[in-house]
Structure 1
Amino acid sequence: MRHLHTSVHESIEHLDQVSIVKRDAARAIVVSGEDILLLYTERYHDYTLPGGGIDDGEDKIAGLVRELEEETGAQNIHGIKPYGIYEEFRPWYRDDADVIHMISYCYTCKIDRELGETRYEDYEIKNGMKAVWMNIHEAIAHNEQTIAQSPKKGMSIERETFLLRQVAKELL
């Protein structure tokens, strides 16, 4: 799979002599015309691609399908194709490491336009997460405004906005 980008959080001065935990994630790119399936998160006031961490021993495609079904209620997931890898190094606020090395494996796929029931985790419910079909250009503009103005923004918004711009440029 092609490498799209590597990002190092501004607070990380160097990666030597720090403990790093690695986490793989799978992210879905589902486009219908100029609409894209996204997750809106009220807590961070942003739009993100559906997806998340791959469980130990889980195949990347299986993780993608599981996350897409859980977070969006997607049905009839098919036509899965590799799109690209986005790597990031961010501060990690747990005892087992200083930095997390997140590797996001992004895939395009097709689904039925109508979404079914979601199965959100408790923290996703508390964060006000919901699946939406959104015009990709409006989502990019919204995230750019959040980056520029909102104190609520999370660390993932830079990744997500980069990926949305890439998708708009290459797939529309």
Structure 2
Amino acid sequence: MFRKCYEQEHLPDLSKKKIRTAVRAIIFKGNQILVELSNGHDVKLPGGGVETGETHKQALIREIKEETGFTCTHVGEKVGEVIEHHRDLFEEDTLFEMISHYYICEIDASYQSSLKLDQYEEELDFTPVWMTLKEAIALNKTADENGTGNGWIRRENDVFECLEV
């Protein structure tokens, strides 16, 4: 199991703290993994925030359906977590902590319904695609170098590299 923690550099003491719990699905088909491709030409794993009253399993099933159109048939073992700390983008004097839990999942790939994306996901034109871990890592590195990628590149590439082992 992997565990990573990222701290924003030069983070001052902040008086408030906001915590967000997220779940992320690791779905393989042969040597390919299912990822969300953005219009910034970077990729992330399907998943998102756990809503109040939801279990991790319920949130994964919902997020996979919304972001990929596929039905999750099995939520397997938790394989890792990533904790991120940075200044909150929306609330002054607030530390934002996101804990992402990564699970091996299986889907029924025989039928894909339409996506039900959040507004920011629509703006980023999320598209589910299958690719190898090496392709996902290379795409994210290029997007990062070009300045077109999103804030999850480091987190997701570290996870992709853990999965390559």
Whether 1:121 aligns to 2:109 is no
Aligned residue identity for 2:53: G
TM-score when normalising by structure 2? 0.90
Matches within 5 A, 1:83-102: 83-95=79-91, 98-102=94-98
In the alignment, what sits opposite 1:65?
61
In the alignment, what sits opposite 1:141?
138
In the alignment, what sits opposite 2:5?
6
3-state secondary structure, aligned to 2:155: helix
Matches within 5 A, 1:22-33: 22-33=19-30
State the distance in 2 between where 1:90 and 1:77 align.
Answer: 35
TM-score when normalising by structure 1? 0.87
Q: Tell me, yes or no, if the aligned pair for 1:38 and 1:134 is still in contact at 8 Å.
A: yes
Query: Structure 2 unaligned runs (5+)?
Result: none
Q: Tell me, yes or no, if the aligned pair for 2:35 and 2:128 is still in contact at 8 Å.
A: yes
Q: Percent identity?
A: 30
1:89-146 residue CA offsets vs partner (Å, 9 max, x unmatched): 1231112653210000110011123433211122211111111111221111111222
In the alignment, what sits opposite 2:73?
77
CA-based RMSD: 1.8
Query: Structure 1 unaligned runs (5+)?
Result: none
3-state secondary structure, aligned to 1:27: strand
Higher strand share: 2
140, 151, 165: which is aligned to 1:155?
151
Q: Tell me, yes or no, if the aligned pair for 2:133 and 2:160 is still in contact at 8 Å.
A: yes
In the alignment, what sits opposite 1:48?
44
State the distance in 1 between where 2:12 and 2:31 align.
Answer: 39
